[in-house]
Amino acid sequence: MIDNGAAAVAFHQVSKSFGAKRVLRDVSFDVHAGEALCILGRSGTGKSVTLKLIISLLKPDNGNIWIEQDEITHLKEADLSRVRRKMGFLFQDAALFDSLTLYEHLALPLLRLSDKSQDELDFVIDRVLKQVGLENDKRKMPSELSGGMRKRAGLARALVLEPKILLADEPSSGLDRITAAEIDELLLKQKAEHKTTLIVVTHDVRGARNVGDRIVVLDRGRLIADGTVGEVEQSENETARNLMSEC
């Protein structure tokens, strides 16, 4: 156990390569509990890799990653499982399971990781589905859901275990402006009502302005700006300034 102050997530000098391609180079940032951090950058700059490193779906080549008090880069599988329970992950294309109904998607982690009775299970699932506006769709299969509904379903699955930290990979990708704004609203509501720490990867600058308390900008694997919207807009780095002026 390492004392990491008040940070919910901390990245210290993290590097990651795939073969000869270096995706992240000495990236460091902290995210405080209850804060919403947006990670901005163009495609292929290591944004999604950053999220997968946080939830330990990937291991870094160098550096340290803390989730609250746990340094996760060398944790064993059983301890990783405990740490992952603090987090929910909304995948870019929702990553719903083809063979399960929406109800079964939410029941799966609850049955595995809690000892709730059937009534309690139904109550929690109904509450979460209502929260994302899918209370009438719980018997539907993923193939019956629209793009926006799939995102909401993925969000419901990520929220069903009441995570302290919510990771969202391109929550607005593939959605029209109105539906994307609705997803952003759901994220903000989750943060406001449950004090959830949000880490949102996006290339949608408008969404990042709405959701983020802070923004970090990645470019070619390096962190080039870190601050509030206003601070990044005034950044010394031209790429970061240009990115913020895109919307």
Q: Is 159 in the site for another protein (CB under 8 A)?
A: no
Which one among 93, 120, 144, 176 touches another protein, defined by CB under 8 A?
Answer: 93
If one asks whether residue 21 binds another protein (CB under 8 A), the answer comes out as no
Residue 164 is a binding residue for another protein (CB under 8 A):
no
Q: Which range touches another protein (CB under 8 A), out of 26-34, 86-94, 130-138, 180-188?
A: 86-94
108 lies in the binding site for another protein (CB under 8 A) = yes
Residue 203: closest CA among 89, 47, 50? 47
- What letter would DSSP give residue 145? S
127: number of Cβ within 10 Å: 13
**Residue 166 is a binding residue for another protein (CB under 8 A):** no
Nearer to another protein, 52 or 140 (CB): 52
Two tokens, residue 58? 């990937």
What's the order of all strands across the beta sheet hosting 21-32?
21-32, 7-18, 62-67, 70-71
Minimum separation from the CB atom of position 231 to another protein (A):
31
Interface residue with another protein, options 13, 42, 59, 95 (CB under 8 A): 95
H or E element: which one contains 121? helix 118-131
Site string for another protein, 62-81 (x = CB under 8 A): ---------------x---x
Does 55 participate in binding another protein (rule CB under 8 A)? Answer: yes
Point out which residues pair with 30 in neighbouring strands.
Answer: 10
* d(C-alpha 226, C-alpha 171), whole Å: 21
Instruction: Tell me the three state secondary structure of residue 228.
Output: coil
Please provide residue 53's backbone torsions phi and psi, each rounded to the nearest 5 degrees. Answer: -70, -35
Query: For residues 35 and 170, which CB has a smaller minimum distance to another protein in the complex?
Result: 170
Q: Which residue has the tokens 């944004």?
A: 47
Interface pick for another protein out of 98, 119, 193, 236 (rule CB under 8 A): 98
Beta 165-169 vs 197-202: how paired, if at all?
parallel
Question: Residue 156 is which amino acid?
Answer: A
Number of residues that bind another protein (CB under 8 A): 24
Chain residues that interact with another protein, rule: CB under 8 A: 52, 55, 57, 77, 81-82, 84-85, 87-89, 91-93, 95-98, 108-109, 112-113, 157, 161
